[in-house]
Amino acid sequence: MRRPSQESKELLGPNVDCRHCSLVTLCLPVAVDEAELAMLERVIKHRRLLARGEELFRRGERFHSVYAIKSGSMKTFTTADRKVVQVTGFHLPGELLALDAVGAGVYQYSARALETASVCEFPFNRLEDLGTLVRGVQRQLLRIMSRQIEHDLSLHVLHCKSTAPARLATFLVNLSMRFAERGLSRAEFHLSMSRADIGNYLGLAKETVSRLFTEFQERQLVSVRRKSLRIHDLYKLESLAGLHATVA
């Protein structure tokens, strides 16, 4: 396993090396063989390094590429008058951004780095060409888009049914799971987004989020100190989230 701290040294080259990327099982190349991987690498335009707060693309710009996050984290959001109106998602390494822009040909949301981040750029028309040539790539593209739809619909379910504690619990359980998928601790991680962002994302006031963190801490479910979170009782958190469906 490679230490993430070493990655910053190898970010800037125009060429990429999917074969040795630790995210290969999460990003596009899954189930694509060696030869196909080589073709895919040629499609990737370059990597880009983003500083905290820097924008990758903006709502309304002409769509040309999807991006895979290599390190760091990002948020996507809608805007009006340069102000953030609605946070639509938080994104971790291995996840693809801008899949929703394919249909309209225009970025639907803006994307901003929550901390120093690096991304791989996939020009979409080249990806499409490759999809026609290589069945594995088409498959994977469709699969990833489908997973995205699945995820977005589950988000809809979350928002309709749940009370505030259930929403925050779901959010934390989901983050925990995603960190675990990336080989990081599922019990202890860094919240790179603000309370206001979390609240906005979940449809809650930032004060409510703050109160809930306090409450969860009092109930021994988690420890929170500013941006660092430790989960003590994942099972209870999942119960709060409405998983473990208590048989009616």
Partner DNA sequence: CGATGAGTTGAAACGTCTCAATCTACGTGG
Partner DNA sequence: CCACGTAGATTGAGACGTTTCAACTCATCG
Q: Interface with a copy of itself by CB under 8 A: which residues?
A: 78, 80-81, 83, 85-86, 88-89, 99-104, 108-109, 128, 131-132, 135, 138-139, 141-150, 152-153, 155-157, 159-161, 200-203, 245, 247-248
Burial 91-109 (b: 16+ CB within 10 A, else e): bbbbbbbbbbbeeeeebbb
Q: What's the min distance (Å) between Cβ of 168 and DNA?
A: 9
Smaller CB distance to DNA: residue 61 or 207?
207
Smaller CB distance to a copy of itself: residue 79 or 116?
79
Residue 143 corresponds to which tokens in the numbers above?
């699969």
Summarize as ranges the residues that interact with DNA (CB under 7 A): 163-165, 194-196, 203-211, 213-214, 224, 226-227
Tell me the C-alpha distance between 110 and 4, whole Å. Answer: 26
Q: What's the min distance (Å) between Cβ of 231 and DNA?
A: 15
For 5, residues 6+ apart whose C-beta sits below 8 A from its C-beta are none
Partners of 75 in the β-ladder: 90, 112
CA 108 to chain centre: 16
Closest residue by Cα to residue 44 from 156, 121, 145? 121
Can you count the helices (H) and strands (E) in the chain? 7, 11
CB 154 within 8 A of CB 197: no
125 binds, among a copy of itself, DNA, none (CB under 5 to 8 A by kind): none
Tell me the C-alpha distance between 93 and 3, whole Å. Answer: 14
234 binds, among DNA, a copy of itself, none (CB under 5 to 8 A by kind): none
Q: What's the min distance (Å) between Cβ of 178 and a copy of itself?
A: 16
161 binds, among a copy of itself, DNA, none (CB under 5 to 8 A by kind): a copy of itself
Q: What's the min distance (Å) between Cβ of 184 and a copy of itself?
A: 23
Tell me the C-alpha distance between 126 and 167, whole Å. Answer: 39
Smaller CB distance to a copy of itself: residue 191 or 198?
198
Q: What's the min distance (Å) between Cβ of 81 and a copy of itself?
A: 6
Smaller CB distance to DNA: residue 66 or 158?
158
Q: What's the min distance (Å) between Cβ of 31 and a copy of itself?
A: 12
Largest Cα separation within the chain, whole Å, is 57
